Amino acid sequence: MRDPWASLADPFVEGAYATVKGRVRTQVIHQQLLDHLAPPPAAILDVGGGAGHQSRPLAQIGYDVTILDSSPAMLERAERLFANDVPGVRQRVTLLQGGGEDAATLVGERAFDGVLCHGVVMYLADPAPLIASLSACARSGGVVSLVALNAQTMAVRPALERRWSDAVSGFDARHERGVLGVDTRADTVEELSGLLQDGGVEPEAWYGVWLFSDLAELAGTPLSAGDLEGVAAVELLAASRDPYRQLSRLFHLLGRRR
């Protein structure tokens, strides 16, 4: 079967995730997760986890991680990433191929302390089946973690790129062509919170992701390695404060299974 993500594996791994902006995203979401997850060695399922960039820091501090992804190419990159890790980390990681909607079957109906799905729902026409599947994989009291494109800020990117007509349309837009050339769909916190509740998961908190780092890049001021720690600290503060979190390009929503 053709892997539609094969051609994007390198742009994701060597491009998006490797940039300062990508590393800021990983750091900020990691810190937000630690405020809600049970301590290691709790079991984590990362659905659509790709090359493992978000779950790798969890495995490194002792979590038992299962990465489920539909793309063999992305899982092959994950294998490479963990193969070069410090001893013991690879033994805490399981790689599974398959679609997120089939997660409960693919993991043998195992229940997890944390179920992550970051940057996946934006590529789906209807996120409801996937979110129902994620909810079913969480144990009672377990956390479900979603990262999605923020529908409230769709006018920002075209405006900063001086695409004024697109910016006007962006105030009511729900779709855009992402930086990797793939069509994406935006959501609101309220919409995804409702889908979590439908699956028996009570929304617990939400945060912004990518505000200042995204604005700097769009304004033509690329970040350098020397900016990493500083911008990550600023982003972490902005992520939980209004109005900053509302203006972020992405949002991070966490719920707990009843």
Give the tens place of pLDDT for each residue, 73-129.
999 999 998 988 888 999 999 999 999 999 999 999 899 999 999 999 999 999 999
Classify residue 127: in a domain, yes or no.
yes
* Helix, coil or strand: residue 246: helix
Classify residue 43: in a domain, yes or no.
yes
* Segments forming the whole domain that contains residue 96: 6-149+183-257
Classify residue 13: in a domain, yes or no.
yes
Classify residue 159: in a domain, yes or no.
no
Domain count within the chain: 1
User: Which of 83-92, 111-120, 190-199, 234-243 is predicted with the least confidence, judged by mean pLDDT?
Assistant: 83-92
- Give which of 103, 102, 90 is closest to 46, Cα–Cα: 103
Which CATH number is 223's domain given? 3.40.50.150
Classify residue 140: in a domain, yes or no.
yes
pLDDT attached to residue 1: 67
- Give which of 96, 193, 108, 105 is closest to 144, Cα–Cα: 193
Classify residue 178: in a domain, yes or no.
no
Per-residue pLDDT at 177 exceeds 90: no
Q: What is the pLDDT of residues 130-155, one digit of tens each?
A: 999 999 999 999 999 999 999 999 99
Interatomic CA distance for residues 6 and 8, integer angstroms:
5
Please, is 67 exposed, middle or buried when counting C-beta atoms within 10 Å of its C-beta (0-12, 13-18, 19+)? Answer: buried
